[in-house]
Amino acid sequence: MFSAVEMAPRDPILGLNEQFAADTNPHKVNLGVGVYYDDNGKLPLLQCVQLAEKAMMDKPAARGYLPIDGIAAYDSAVKNLVFGAESEPVKSGRVATVQALGGTGGLKIGADFLKKLTPHAKVLISDPSWENHRALFSNAGFAVETYAYYDAAKRGVNFEGMLASLNAAAPGTIVVLHACCHNPTGYDLTPAQWDQVIAAIRAKGLTAFLDMAYQGFGHGIAEDGAVIQKFVAAGLTFFVATSFSKSFSLYGERVGALSVLCDSKDEADRVLSQLKIVIRTNYSNPPTHGGAVVAAVLNNPELRALWEKELGEMRTRIKAMRQALVDGLKAAGVQQDMSFITTQIGMFSYSGLSKEQMVRLRSEFGVYGTDTGRMCVAALNSKNIDHVCKAIAAVL
């Protein structure tokens, strides 16, 4: 039965973890996957999470099945975070939100729902985008193409190209957008550019699907989420996938959400009923722990403030590492201007290094980034930065 099954290629991001684990180089550094490590190279367990978990342990709860759409207090906390507790969409009940298995799970629930709703629509992802966007929407049955995004020569966004791609798209095309901290490039749109993108989406009748996996890693929770308000103000209906993997350092809990902004409460109720079918036929209902922790933090003013503080510290440390990387590369003898690293935001730097250079970094120096030249600067620290700078200088 399985004799014709071919070996699939390794995942371009998570596959690197497997290679990294097998590497015996004592100086190895994993800048592949988008994960934040502290200055000691440790994955943090946030204080706000520990306090919430302690309170939960003090009153242990049984683990029954959750509702298909997840914990009600979690879903409402997500709505409040994404749209604003006092916002019109939340007050009027026209947001359908479901708990999902991480941001990826939110994207997949949305993709499967859209495939039923608009089976012939095309999906546009940014060029380049997170590798899994293409795979996920292709596996949901869509034809996936790209819109222009990165301008390698200018080291920034090819905004004219992006607008031209959107203006050329057929009505109903699904456009996957990075709400903040573009993955992999680290280049975001300005607020004025977002206005133009939103105008094009509205004029052309496109369906926006926002992926918000890095809220808080750019400029702050509110600042990074501001684009949502712009879409609301434009009167659009749209999708938002939320992830708490990075912002709560809860990667393994797979805690995320999908929110769909509809025209009315009645529409949202019907959309929710369809999302529940997608969930029920995939994994029945979500797990309890991660959602309960995030809900406990977001719904408690003190823990919520502590979360903002801790997230701010992660953001500040990443920015310091960007500067340290620029300085370290210069000190290691790199002649070219690498200051673009500090204009990029979020967890990644799109280094511009070729696949061959990235392979050399891995094989000769144990420095792991993706083949596309993406490096996770959130995994740099004061102990590994010199090795990384010398390695990059050697392959440049």
Binding interface with ligand LMR (CB under 6 A): 13, 33-34, 130, 132, 183, 213
Nearer to ligand LMR, 34 or 89 (CB): 34
Residue nearest to ligand LMR (CB): 34
CB of 33 to ligand LMR, least distance (A): 4
- Report which residue type is found at 340: F
Nearer to ligand LMR, 89 or 102 (CB): 102
Out of 69, 75, 108, 130, the active site residue is 130
Out of 211, 224, 307, 371, the active site residue is 211
Structure tokens at 215: 């809220």
| CA dist., res. 132 & res. 92, Å (int) | 34
| CA dist., res. 93 & res. 341, Å (int) | 42
Residue with tokens 């009505």: 171
CB of 13 to ligand LMR, least distance (A): 4
Coil/strand/helix, residue 92: helix
Residue 17 CB coordination number (10 Å): 16
Nearer to ligand LMR, 194 or 214 (CB): 214
Based on the residue annotation, tell me whether 130 is a catalytic residue of this protein. Answer: yes
Structure tokens at 334: 């790199």
Structure tokens at 149: 């995004």
Burial class (CB in 10 A: 0-12, 13-18, 19+), 377: buried
Residue with tokens 């969409």: 89
The residue among 344, 53, 72, 98 whose CA lies nearest residue 242 is 98
For 113-173, the DSSP string reads HHHHHSTT-EEEEEES--HHHHHHHHHTT-EEEEEE-EETTTTEE-HHHHHHHHHTSPTT-
CB of 104 to ligand LMR, least distance (A): 6
CA angle 142, 158, 368 (to 5 degrees): 75
Pairing mode of beta strands 29-30, 367-368: parallel
Out of 79, 108, 115, 246, the active site residue is 246
| CA dist., res. 384 & res. 392, Å (int) | 12
The residue among 210, 257, 213, 211 whose CA lies nearest residue 236 is 210
| CA dist., res. 369 & res. 13, Å (int) | 8
Which residues share a beta bridge with 260? 96, 239
Coil/strand/helix, residue 73: helix
| CA dist., res. 81 & res. 157, Å (int) | 28
Catalytic residues: 130, 211, 246
